[in-house]
Amino acid sequence: MKKLILFSFCFFALVVNAQFSVSSDNAYLHKTDVANLDALFLFNGISALTEITYTGDESVLEWQTFDGQFYSNSKTISPEDGVGYILKINDIDTYFIWVIDYQKHPISITSLTIVEADDKCDYIKLIPVYTAAELVYQDKNKVTHTLPRVFTVRYQNVEFTNEAWGEPKDKSFTKTPPFTELVVNAPFCDTKYSIEADTYATEMNIAPQIAETVLYKAIAVEAHPKGTVSERTAKNELERSGSDISGSGPLVVDFESRVNPISTNFYEWFIYNLKSPDTYIRYTDRDFRYTFTESGSYRVKLVASSSVCEYVDSLDVKVLESFLDVPNVFTPNGDGINDEFRVAFKSLKSYSCQVFNRWGRKVFSSEDPGKGWDGRINGKLAAPGAYYYVIQAVGTDLDKDGNPIKYKLSGDINLLRGK
C-alpha cells in the first residue's frame, strides 16, 4: 500500500500538486516557478517506480518528448533524466515539463580556506575547492538554461545594537557558482566559516556537502566610545549635565571604549584642551574616569587596536564657565519652596560660605555650594530677620590674564517665616 508522505527516503510517496501527481520512492522537488515551463521535477534518484501522472479528466491526450518523439497515450509516464515532455490534450500542446535526476549531477566540496587580503581589517577572502555539475534544462521554446545550484556560507558575528555588543549570532549568505573566491566583511569576533551545497539538497532533506575552515581569530576593530557625565545631585547647581558631554565643572566623566570583544585589543585615550591641542593627557585603560577641572572645550580621542588593525574615534567635551548668584531671602516654613538659603552656581572649583546674625555670631558655614542653611541654629528655629553672609569661591574658568575667576560676595539675607 502506498503511503502519503512527501520527501520520504524510506516510504513510497504519492503526492498531488496542480495538474500532476508524482509517485516516487525518493525525495523530489516539484518546481512551478520556472519560466516558460509548467513544471520542473528534480528527483533524488529516478527508479523503475518513479512516475508522473496527469490528474485531469481529459481522455484524448498524448505525451511527446521535446524533440517531437511520441512517448505515450497514457496519463502516466516513467520519466528519464534530462528529458523534456509535452502533454498534448485534444492535439494541442498544453503542458511542458522537464525532469532532472539530481543524483546524476554530483556536487562536492573539498575544502574551504581563509586568505587575508591587503585590506584584511575590512575584508577576508574564502577560497573554496568544489565541483558542481550543471543542472541543465530546456524551456518550451527549446531555449537551454541552467538551474542555479545555490551554496550557503555560514559563520558567526557580533553586532553593536541597543548601545552594546551582543552575543555571537549565526549569520549566512548564499552564492551561486561559478566563483573562485568569496569576499566577506571581516568579522568582529572569532568564528569558523563553513560552506554547504546546495539548497536543493537541503530542501530534499539530503545531507549537504559541507567544508569548514579552522577557527579564525578576529583582528578587525570597531569601537563606539561613550562619555557619561557623573551627575551631581545638588539641585541648585545649574546645568549639572547637558544633552551632550557637557556641564558644570569640575566635570566628572566616565569614558567607555565599547570595542568589539576580541582578545588582542589595546587602548589609547588622548585628552586635548582645544586651546592647546599640541599637549595631551594619555590613558591606556579600556575604560576610565576623568575629572575636567577647568572650563573649556576638549577633544577625547580613542585609538583602539588589535595586533594588526586600528580604529579611531573621538568625543567632544565642554566644561561650562562658572556662575554664582546669591538670593536675598528664604522662607524655611516647610512648604518645600525656598526652604533653604542656597546659592545658584555652576563650575566652582572651591567654595566657602559663612552666615552671621546681627550680633556677628556665626550661625552657619559650608564648603559645599550644594548645601544650604535650613534656618536652624543648633537644631532650633532661628529668629526671623536679617542675617549677613560672606562667600568666597573660585571658578573652573580663567580670566583674560589666565588666572582663576574668583568670587568675593557679601550681603544681607532675610529669613522669613509664615504664620
Convert the pLDDT of each residue in 74-131 to its tens digit. 999 999 999 999 999 999 999 999 999 999 999 999 999 999 878 999 999 999 999 9
pLDDT tens for residues 11-43?
334 443 458 999 999 999 999 999 999 999 999
Predicted TM-score (pTM) above 0.75: yes
CA distance 240 to 248: 5
If we measure between CA atoms, which residue out of 290, 296, 298, 407 comes closest to residue 348? 407
- CA–CA separation, 248 vs 267, rounded Å? 28
Contacts of 370 (CB under 8 A, 6+ apart): 232, 233, 234, 236, 237
Domain extents for the chain? 13-103, 106-134+147-212, 226-319, 323-415
For 226-319, CATH number out of 2.40.30.10, 3.40.640.10, 2.30.30.90, 2.60.40.1930 equals: 2.60.40.1930
Q: How far apart are CA 190 and CA 281, in angstroms?
A: 33
Helices (H) and strands (E) in the chain, counts: 1, 38
CA dist 252 and 231 (Å) reads 8
Q: How far apart are CA 66 and CA 69, in angstroms?
A: 7
- At 295, the pLDDT band (50, 70, 90 cuts) reads very high
Is 323-415 in the same CATH topology as 226-319?
A: yes
CATH topology for 323-415? Immunoglobulin-like (2.60.40)
413 forms bridges with which residues in the sheet?
387
In 3-state terms, what secondary structure has residue 241? coil
Specify the residue for cell string 562667600: 391
- In angstroms, the CA 347 to CA 293 distance is 9
Task: Give pLDDT, residue 2.
Answer: 32
From the list 224, 150, 226, 156, the residue with the least C-alpha distance to 184 is: 156
Write out the H or E segment, with its range, that includes residue 404: strand 404-415
Q: Could you read off the pLDDT of 265-290 as tens digits, one per residue?
A: 799 999 999 999 899 999 999 999 99
Q: Answer whether 216's CB lies under 8 Å from 186's CB.
A: no
Residue with cell 496519463: 75
User: What does CATH list as the number for 106-134+147-212?
Assistant: 2.60.40
